């Protein structure tokens, strides 16, 4: 795998976060959810293409989240239902949390499978990290349901962009834990749980 390149962290954050930021900007300026959704679909497609160009591959988590943003955005446009795009975070984050906890109950750790090549941790540390990420994803899913059902589309878009910032902060907050338990002391925190819209 010597020819595999890794995009700079800032580029990955830009590619992952740009569709949600552009969605928010278009929605606030135009108050047109459908037009803003077109930007999500286009931005997600461009983000996947940029990731492919930068790294000569599409990493699994960005591929899943970007692909789902495309799918939910397209379904929202075709069916003329804004709530489909809004439900994406609830469904995806809920399923990600369930996959982590389900894997742990059968003695597997999906987080270790996804990130295991990034750094080495003892199994107990991987379990702790999986529980933290699972709880984070479930908290995001519950919060999204509350916000999308009780607030305006503009407030939901602001909330969704805030969750991206929270995801970065959550990932960075894992750094002391990783440093404490990593066999490789140069370990970096994993990417934020889910950046795309």
Looking at the structure of the chain, the number of domains it has is 1
DSSP 125-166: HHHHHHHHHHHHHHHHHHHHHHHHHHS-HHHHHHHHHHHHHH
- In a domain, residue 2? The reply is no
- In a domain, residue 4? The reply is no
CA distance 145 to 140: 9
The pLDDT tens digits for 9-68 are 666 666 666 677 777 788 778 888 888 888 777 777 777 777 677 777 666 666 776 777
- In a domain, residue 169? The reply is yes
Q: Which residue has the tokens 């349901």?
A: 145
- In a domain, residue 18? The reply is yes
SS3 content of the chain, % helix, strand, coil (to 5): 75, 0, 25
- In a domain, residue 138? The reply is yes
- In a domain, residue 137? The reply is yes
Q: pTM of the entire structure?
A: 0.75
> What mean pLDDT comes out for the span 99-121?
82
The pLDDT tens digits for 139-195 are 999 999 999 999 998 899 889 888 888 988 998 898 888 888 876 555 555 555 555
- In a domain, residue 3? The reply is no
Domain containing residue 157: 9-181
């Amino acid at each position: 795998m010597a020819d595999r390149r890794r995009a700079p962290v800032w580029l990955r954050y830009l590619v992952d976060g740009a569709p949600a930021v552009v969605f928010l900007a278009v929605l606030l300026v135009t108050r047109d959810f459908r037009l803003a959704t077109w930007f999500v679909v286009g931005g997600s497609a461009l983000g996947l293409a940029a990731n492919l160009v930068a790294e000569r591959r599409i990493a699994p988590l960005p591929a899943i989240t970007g692909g789902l943003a495309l799918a939910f955005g397209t379904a929202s446009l075709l069916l003329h239902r804004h709530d489909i795009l809004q439900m994406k975070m609830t469904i995806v984050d809920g399923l990600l949390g369930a996959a982590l906890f389900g894997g742990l109950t059968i003695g597997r750790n999906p987080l270790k499978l996804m990130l295991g090549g990034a750094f080495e941790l003892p199994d107990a540390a991987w379990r702790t990290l999986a529980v933290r990420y699972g709880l984070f994803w479930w908290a995001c899913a519950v919060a999204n349901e509350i916000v999308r059902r009780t607030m305006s589309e503009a407030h939901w878009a602001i909330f969704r962009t805030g969750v991206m910032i929270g995801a970065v902060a959550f990932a960075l907050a894992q750094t002391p834990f990783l440093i404490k338990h990593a066999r490789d002391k140069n370990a970096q925190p994993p990417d934020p749980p889910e950046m795309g819209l």
